[in-house]
Structure 1
Amino acid sequence: SSDSNVSEPLPVAETFTFESDDAPLSKVARLDTMVTLLDAVNFGADLDSMDYLEDRDWAPKEEDERNVSQLLIDQLEFADVVIINKIDLADEPSVGRIEALVHRLNPHAKVLRSTKGDVPLESILNTGLFSMEEAARAPGWLKELRGEHVPETEEYAVTSFVLRSHRPFHPARLNALMDSKLFSAGAVAASKSVAGAPGAHAEGEAEEAEEAAAAAASSEGLSEATKAVMRGEAGYIVRSKGIAWVASGEGGMTYRGDWSHSGRLVGLEPAGRWWAAIPKENWPEGMTPYGWVDEEGVGDRQTEIVVIGMGMDKERVEAALRTCIVTDEEFAAGPAAWAEWEDPIWGDVDWEEHAAEQDGEEDEEEHGHDDCGHDHHSHDCGEEGCDECEEDGHSEGEEDDAEAEA
């Protein structure tokens, strides 16, 4: 592991695979084990934090836009061994909730408990556990998306489902839900340490409850049942990841959304073009886009999001998410009507600038249609990195965008 608490694990791992004219690192060293150390007392609060690295003076360089929550998830999901430290300062239910969530987010990781970081050396040295291929395939959300069974932890109510739809999200309704208490790691945080001192999350619970109530009260077009979910009455979504179709006029018809969320930070960024927005003569020969539907105005436009929660009533939470999808009448109105809607998600996107960025990136890719390295500028994602599309399942027979290391 790195000596910096702000290191991103994938770049560290890739350092061992770079070829160079000089002796590559892999000739003199090997990456044996990726270890992540979690603070049992502050894990929930950090996962729920809205802080950026620069807010905590953790940013190694200026203009570092990463946030604490996403970096924590990156380190957790990429680890071979996760050590839950300071268990002497946290109560057993809190440690149990953290352990259950870790198992769900990273099913292949070995999970240890420790006090003052004391673990057997043989559990982290010369284990031979690290594999770049396995690390890329490891995140629990990716296994869920591929349809692999990941056992749910009933004792601590860690559950999941995949939201799929070939209709777009209504931006205003979705924004209200995204800003609610539903998206939170509140269920993970300890309310008290064993010494009786309030945890960091507990101190802000009253303020968060007020914010959630205000968001619910201002959510026009949402049912009372959905507003109850927004107040956290059906549990919490701790982690979600996937792609989304947003009814954002022609921009939403052309570009898919990359959805990445951890704790309270929900990222929904415009990324690469839908294949349906590209003339078929420009498609790779013999390619069938992932999830293609022969329906006018649809094609491969879709939403597919893995949702992982704690204490979550899956039926109620999925129903709340589906109320944010356009109705049949709204869908029939079409992109011209959608462009007139209030759009707090992508309303400020400069689509010409985004198209230029995408075209420039495509020119650099040998496959001619890959959107790695897209810019993040809405809803606080701050996440970078791409992997093989087959891991993320966004198209068949062609590479696409998949942030498998997140």
Structure 2
Amino acid sequence: MAARVVLVAGFTHHDVADELWRASPESSLVRHDLSSLAEGVVRRWADGRLTVLELAHGCVSCTLRLDLVPLLEGLDGRVIVQLDPMLEPEAVCFALSETEVEIEAVVTVVDTATWLDDATSADSLADRGMRAAEGDERMVAQVVVGQTEFADALVLTGPGDPVLTAVLDRLSPDAPRQQLSELDVHALLAAIPADARRGEIDDGFGSLLYGRPSLEPAHGVSVVHFTDRRPFHPMRLHNCIDVLLDGVVRVRGRVWVASQPDAALWLESAGGGLRVGNLGPWEGDRDQELVVITRSADAAEIAAALRSALVTDEELGLITELDFADPFADWHEEEMEL
């Protein structure tokens, strides 16, 4: 029988994994400490036993491939895995996607005192002394937003304020929430919807409005859902990037630029960090879609900036003859081991 895994993520130290373990006495508890990963050392606790691993190349992908994945493949029953604060659950689920391990749920702990500031921060993990390896250039915002966005359920360290609530309503709308002080783990897991993600990896070509987020503004928080059937002018899109960063919590989406007609580009940002990647060829119509969750930015200004970056009717008529300068030709998400 394959393991059924509950991943517990969060950018703050907490006892949620212990609560889940105590509520399920037959389960196993696994913890990872990656604070010394840059030196090639990983500490892992499994059911109270400490194992110190020395890796020839200290990186997150090596930790997953050489330790966590084989460990979970050798277990059965429910396993509670407390992830190190620098780990994003999506990366773990991707590593487990080719195994028989079942992801029962992803539970993320949200520190209500710091989450909003972290989610819009321009700090890198290196700035906080937390990067996993020499080449780890991830932003704090990328980690905290990714941990929350991918969650099936949320545990809040406190009541939070209306702005945080409005952001969570739009970032992870279907995830049930409980406060840490009132945590009932059985009720929390039972409240996860039947159609929750549960570790499933999205290929980027489906709808990007996960769950049923409200598109109405609340407490200064808005959702911009941008779609169009014509491509972006690459330079004009590049020039409006700053509008997608200031006062914005999250941007995710696939875009079509006129200079790369066959490529579905992936644009993603959190806080002050932006990544551009390539999803591969379009699967049918070039149905580009961007979802922007703002904290304080003007949603109408963002929508107008994106609209103005599209090619004009005249440019569209000459699209096969025009030679576009393309800042996205060499700007892509770097392949690096974290």
Whether TM exceeds 0.5 here: the answer is yes
Are positions 1:56 and 2:128 aligned together? yes
Q: Note the C-alpha offset of 1:157.
A: 4.4
Q: Note the C-alpha offset of 1:65.
A: 3.7
The aligned residue for residue 267 of structure 1 is 275
The aligned residue for residue 43 of structure 1 is 115
The aligned residue for residue 290 of structure 1 is 284
Higher relative helix content: 1
The aligned residue for residue 67 of structure 1 is 139
Deviation digits for residues 91-138 of structure 1, max 9, x if unmatched?
x6xx21111211211112122345xxx342436776584979633579
The aligned residue for residue 388 of structure 1 is none
The aligned residue for residue 206 of structure 1 is none
Q: Which amino acid aligns with 1:346?
A: F
Alignment RMSD (CA, Å)? 3.9
Q: Which amino acid aligns with 1:96?
A: P
- Whether the 8 Å CA contact 1:245–1:303 is kept in 2: the answer is yes
- Whether the 8 Å CA contact 1:143–1:149 is kept in 2: the answer is no
Which of 106, 109, 118 is equivalent to 1:34? Answer: 106
The residue matched to 1:173 in structure 2 has which SS?
A: helix
Higher relative strand content: 2
Q: Which amino acid aligns with 1:171?
A: P
In 2, the alpha carbon distance for the partners of 1:125 and 1:48 equals 28
- Whether the 8 Å CA contact 1:108–1:138 is kept in 2: the answer is no
Using structure 2 for the length normalisation, give the TM-score: 0.61
The aligned residue for residue 6 of structure 1 is 86
In 1, the alpha carbon distance for the partners of 2:223 and 2:152 equals 22
The aligned residue for residue 303 of structure 1 is 288
Residues matched between the structures, number: 257
- List gaps (5 residues or longer) in structure 2: 1-7, 9-81
Are positions 1:258 and 2:215 aligned together? no
Q: Percent identity between the aligned chains?
A: 26
- List gaps (5 residues or longer) in structure 1: 187-236, 275-288, 292-299, 350-374, 385-406
The residue matched to 2:253 in structure 1 has which SS?
A: strand
Using structure 1 for the length normalisation, give the TM-score: 0.52
Are positions 1:377 and 2:334 aligned together? yes
Deviation digits for residues 211-254 of structure 1, max 9, x if unmatched?
xxxxxxxxxxxxxxxxxxxxxxxxxx432222111233xxx123
In 2, the alpha carbon distance for the partners of 1:15 and 1:128 equals 26
Which of 315, 323, 334 is equivalent to 1:330? Answer: 315
The aligned residue for residue 120 of structure 1 is 183
- Whether the 8 Å CA contact 2:251–2:269 is kept in 1: the answer is yes
- Whether the 8 Å CA contact 1:247–1:335 is kept in 2: the answer is no
Deviation digits for residues 325-374 of structure 1, max 9, x if unmatched?
121223334355333x3x4x32546xxxxxxxxxxxxxxxxxxxxxxxxx
Are positions 1:346 and 2:331 aligned together? no
In 1, the alpha carbon distance for the partners of 2:210 and 2:132 equals 38
